Structure 1
Amino acid sequence: MTPKGQQDTAELRAAARHLGRRRFLTVTGAAAALAFATNLPTAGAAGAAEMDARKIADDPFTLGVASGDPQPESVLLWTRLAPAPYEPGNGLPNQRVVVEWELAHDARFQRVARSGFEITHPEFNHTLHVEVNFLEPGRTYYFRFKTGKWISETGRTRTAPAAGSSVSSLKLAAVSCQAYHDGYFTAHKHLAQDDVDVVFHLGDYLYEYAVNSAGGARKYTDRTLPAIFNRETKTLEDYRLRYALYKSDPDLRASHAAHPFVVTWDDHETENNYADDRDENGSAPADFLVRRAAAYRAYWENQPLRSPQQPIGPDLQLYRRVQWGLLAQFDILDTRQYRSDQAYGDGADIPGPESRDPKRSITGATQERWLIDGWNSSKAVWNVVPQQVNFSQRKLDLNAAAKLSMDAWDGYSASRDRVLAGAASAGIENLMVLTGDVHVGYAYDIKADFDDQASKTVGTEIVATSIASGKDGTDKPATWETYTKANPHMKFYNGRRGYVTVDLGLKSARADFKTVSAVTTPGAPITTAASFVTEAGNPGLKPA
């Protein structure tokens, strides 16, 4: 995308309006200028010199290719030029670089469907977002990039089916939580070889924590990571470099090249357990929003996201909708950016007046209305909500007044009540929530009243375990017996790493929980730990 050349007063006023009066009043003086400027091209960007791509001596496609947010007649293609990915600036001068792209019907590029040239800008860290339009719905395509003498690897993507079309099946994968320092991305290696139509990444794509020279639990003996990674990410440069580290992983690259991704974030893409403009350390909101602006800017740069998701200062509208014909509607949520601060100081606590306050929200009022309005107009068989944190009630002990997680929907019970009431009012029969965050696999029946197990089952929740976070894990964690007894609507609990696939059909949906035996050593095989089926029109999970 071509950045704007000049930043002027009108742009700052527009950014202020986007922030809204409440937040803008918290960001003052120099902090405000930094928060806005972090996201805008530098003055004179449009006139920056253009580099002769023939002078790029080393492979600039070290971070692979990706595609995302498939639409019926359009796909989004992504890459980042980085001949030296572990250096600030990617090893490129402060100059524009012209890149050619090709989209073809075949992997040998003998039948090219679309092609063109785009410019990568240093202000956007030489990332490229190409929105290719006028394509055929429901088709598989192959794509690649070229610059100078270099050609990228080939990616495979697909368009969504035509709007309103009859579709009999869709196979999706859900992944989350890939802490580089906790182990290898072996699950991504297997996912790259799996036959899925689309991948939903449910958050914690990267972690802000330091990664030592040995790669943490990876314990490298054949390489040494630079010291720049052995610190917490706080600046725009820090976040850009951390994405380079993650995207240089061959298994993650393979997964992106094989499938289109639909991404949403959780907390660690910015900072652990933040809520709106509050971080976990009690920093002044004005200071934290400067960091958030940097994190959001780097997130957009490094993900296959379309132009409406480009951030303005510390704000980025990530919630959006993807349709898959009449079979499925996906309402992708953001439960971090707009949430009320966690009740009772965060952590685990017994619910009370603060956590149950009807004024509290995990989505914010605007996003909540958008979700329910989307259900009111939905004609899809399945209404799927990819989002971040545990939606169903999860009691953490066997006490009569059990503790719940204040960071999950349990800490925002009024939000959950309103959402479930909205689904009921809209006549949503086949509600499915996709969740990440907790580094384990869960399968839940969503109850109309979680405190009354005899109440109606109104949907299902499928929680994808982590790719690497939590290290190797175990089939039955120490809390397995407690959680399964305390939560009868929890139909499955497994603590290994991996991912989940969901086959959506006209009459039923099948979820397969796929796990690997280890991530602290590479190359572990994949197995299916459990499979469940839920029938269309008859919510509730049954073993397959």
Structure 2
Amino acid sequence: MNLPLDRRTLLRATGAAVGTATLTALPATATATRTAHEVFQHGVASGDPLPTTVLLWTRVTPTPESLPGSGAGPDVNVRWEVATDAAFAQVVTSGTVATGPGRDHTVKVDATGLSPASTYHYRFSLNGAVSDAGTTRTAPTANADVSHLRFGVVSCANWQAGHFAAYRHLAERGDLDLVVHLGDYLYEYGPGEFPVGYAVRPHVPPREALTLADYRQRHAQYKTDPHLRRLHAAAPWVITWDDHEVANDTWSGGAGNHDPKTEGDWATRRAAARRAYFEWMPVRNTGDRLYRRLRFGNLVDLAMLDLRSHRSKQVKVLSGEVDDPNRSVAGAEQLTWLVDGLVSSTARWKLVGNPVMITPTLIPPLPSTILGPLLSLLGLPSEGGTVFTDQWDGYTADRRKVLKALAQNKVTNTVFLTGDVHSSWACDVPADAGLYPVSPSLATELVCPSVTSDNIDDVLHVPPRTAAVVAEKALCGLNRHIKWVEYDSHGAAVLDVTPSAVRMDWYFLADRTDPDSAAHHAKSFRVRNGTQRVEEVSTA
């Protein structure tokens, strides 16, 4: 991921120029004058880009007592502006937006009237204090000819497990059109609780998040990470949630990590977590619905799924209930929306932001010392089983509906982009995994590694590329449609999309506990237009 020095120098110089640029401030209010660092402690972000609109976000701390989750502090009006240049000499739109303790002093605004497929710079101010500037980009118009898009792809960033150097490496590239985050942006556990009783840096508040104040403080802590703030400022994000934004193994009526007897009403906890999420994340407030679709010219339709809000409760491994047609991972409305969108799309590539894996997966026989930690990592009972019941494997009727629609309507170029499993995969998604490769592949799946969350070697406390290698070889041997899996490494992925192919490059960190960790290119797979198959790309 090394870049030419001149690019990094340019980026730093641009950032310095933006940080020192002047901005006409609002008239002073009753709040005392504070420095930019004091007022804008949590950075800036943008998200969900449309051809003429992009969402802008920040959080202000107007007074010392206006701390996240405190419910304290005054109502204030925050100024925002968008420019075509980093020096803000060419401001194209601006305005003010009110915020206060009722929304935890977070700020969201849809900047409208922008030009399609264009780069912009944005910033905020309050009482003379000016935020760092962010860079964002609008989407192309729906039918525009687009020859290339480049996305960062990330998931599973546990503050306690390490530092977010993977975000830094993506930010340093300076060439991303978009960052796709597939869930587990934060974790709800208390200090040292997940997964093996340690904390590189402990969570705040010092307990499991249960209340609105808890979740607000947890979001605030994550947005103090300098690498996370830098990547948010570098490019627009499109984000969905998985389970840890509320609680582990969430389903529509509860969670594996929620005990009503000791932790209160589930609906209350979920509502608190979601309220904090919509306050603190650069996503549009659309009621309680997070699944959505974004279009990038004639090249990409990107459908972002919500596979926690509407799902049926997970069943036990080896249970025949996984095939029950009345059970759903997506919910009937969302599943219909997904299928209809895939079938009707006129884009070359149909990308699906998919929080949990859809590839059918059988667990091979392995030594108990490896099998137990593997199943624990995947949220399965330690005695073993044949399906990952928290994934689409536990909801096979939904998967059959999707694959049947792809087959019957001859839909090509569907690529699922997935997180959740703290590991890296490249898979064909066949109509019948047991008959593959005779049974055709109807889609493909590319799974990014975790930013920090524990992998097999972390759980076992063994050197990387030792115990996990046995599991990887056995898994691919039993599942011929799985072309590659790597259980040990942390990092991020970069997705290049052209009319001829989708290609994912995996980048692995040297040490997740080191904020300055190096990263190296590990593997590349591509899906060529019309093939519905992954193939390794040699970089030699």
Measured against aligned partners, the alpha-carbon deviations of 1:465-520 in whole angstroms (never above 9, x if no partner) come to 11011178535625222212222211121220011111111111111011111112
Q: Distance in 2 between matches of 1:238 and 1:69?
A: 26
Counterpart in 2 of 1:405?
388
Aligned mate of 1:462, from 446, 451, 456 = 446
The DSSP-based 3-state class of the residue aligned with 1:291 is: helix
Counterpart in 2 of 1:509?
502
Counterpart in 1 of 2:260?
283
The alpha-carbon distance between structure 1 residues 445 and 411, as it changes in their structure 2 partners (threshold 3 A), is: same
Counterpart in 1 of 2:148?
169
Residue type matched to 1:403 in 2? T
Aligned mate of 1:211, from 191, 196, 217 = 191
Residue type matched to 2:284 in 1? R
Measured against aligned partners, the alpha-carbon deviations of 1:34-75 in whole angstroms (never above 9, x if no partner) come to xxxxxxxxxxxxxxxx95355346621110000000000100
The DSSP-based 3-state class of the residue aligned with 1:501 is: strand
Residue type matched to 1:328 in 2? V
Counterpart in 1 of 2:326?
359
Counterpart in 2 of 1:232?
208
Measured against aligned partners, the alpha-carbon deviations of 1:271-306 in whole angstroms (never above 9, x if no partner) come to 000210122245389910100000000000010011
Aligned mate of 1:418, from 386, 390, 401 = 401
Aligned mate of 2:275, from 288, 293, 297 = 297
Q: Distance in 1 between matches of 2:38 and 2:67?
A: 16
Task: Indicate yes or no: 2:305 matched with 1:333.
Answer: yes
Aligned mate of 1:253, from 229, 233, 249 = 229
Is the Cα–Cα contact under 8 Å of residues 72 and 159 in structure 1 kept in the other structure? yes
Counterpart in 2 of 1:200?
180
The alpha-carbon distance between structure 1 residues 282 and 209, as it changes in their structure 2 partners (threshold 3 A), is: closer
The alpha-carbon distance between structure 1 residues 537 and 84, as it changes in their structure 2 partners (threshold 3 A), is: farther
Q: Distance in 2 between matches of 1:402 and 1:482?
A: 15
Residue type matched to 1:125 in 2? D
What displacement does 1:183 show?
0.3
Measured against aligned partners, the alpha-carbon deviations of 1:379-409 in whole angstroms (never above 9, x if no partner) come to 000001002111101212249x952111010
Q: Distance in 2 between matches of 1:119 and 1:76?
A: 16
Q: How many residues align?
A: 476
Counterpart in 1 of 2:477?
485
The aligned runs of 1:35-434 (5 Å cut-off) are 51-56=29-34, 59-82=38-61, 88-89=67-68, 93-194=72-173, 195-211=175-191, 219=200, 228-280=204-256, 281=258, 283=260, 287-308=265-286, 311=287, 316-344=288-316, 349-350=317-318, 352-398=319-365, 403-434=386-417
Q: Distance in 2 between matches of 1:515 and 1:525?
A: 9
Counterpart in 2 of 1:33?
none
Is the Cα–Cα contact under 8 Å of residues 79 and 127 in structure 1 kept in the other structure? yes
Is the Cα–Cα contact under 8 Å of residues 363 and 386 in structure 2 kept in the other structure? yes
Is the Cα–Cα contact under 8 Å of residues 137 and 162 in structure 1 kept in the other structure? yes
Q: Distance in 2 between matches of 1:210 and 1:286?
A: 17
Is the Cα–Cα contact under 8 Å of residues 361 and 412 in structure 1 kept in the other structure? yes
After the TM superposition, list the runs of 4 or more consecutive aligned residues in structure 1 that deviate by more than 6 angstroms.
Answer: 83-87
The alpha-carbon distance between structure 1 residues 487 and 257, as it changes in their structure 2 partners (threshold 3 A), is: same
Residue type matched to 2:443 in 1? G
What displacement does 1:196 show?
1.3
TM-score using structure 1 length: 0.83
Aligned mate of 1:449, from 408, 432, 439 = 432
Is the Cα–Cα contact under 8 Å of residues 512 and 532 in structure 1 kept in the other structure? yes
Gaps of 5+ in 2: 1-27, 367-383, 459-463
Q: Distance in 2 between matches of 1:404 and 1:86?
A: 50
Q: Distance in 1 between matches of 2:311 and 2:140?
A: 33
Is the Cα–Cα contact under 8 Å of residues 293 and 301 in structure 2 kept in the other structure? yes
Q: Distance in 1 between matches of 2:446 and 2:347?
A: 19
Q: Distance in 1 between matches of 2:63 and 2:69?
A: 5
The aligned runs of 1:6-17 (5 Å cut-off) are none
Is the Cα–Cα contact under 8 Å of residues 140 and 296 in structure 2 kept in the other structure? yes
Decide which moves more: 497-506 or 78-87.
Answer: 78-87
Gaps of 5+ in 1: 1-49
Measured against aligned partners, the alpha-carbon deviations of 1:104-155 in whole angstroms (never above 9, x if no partner) come to 1111111111111111121000111110111100001111111112111110
Q: Distance in 1 between matches of 2:115 and 2:270?
A: 38
Q: Distance in 2 between matches of 1:381 and 1:85?
A: 51
What displacement does 1:426 show?
3.4
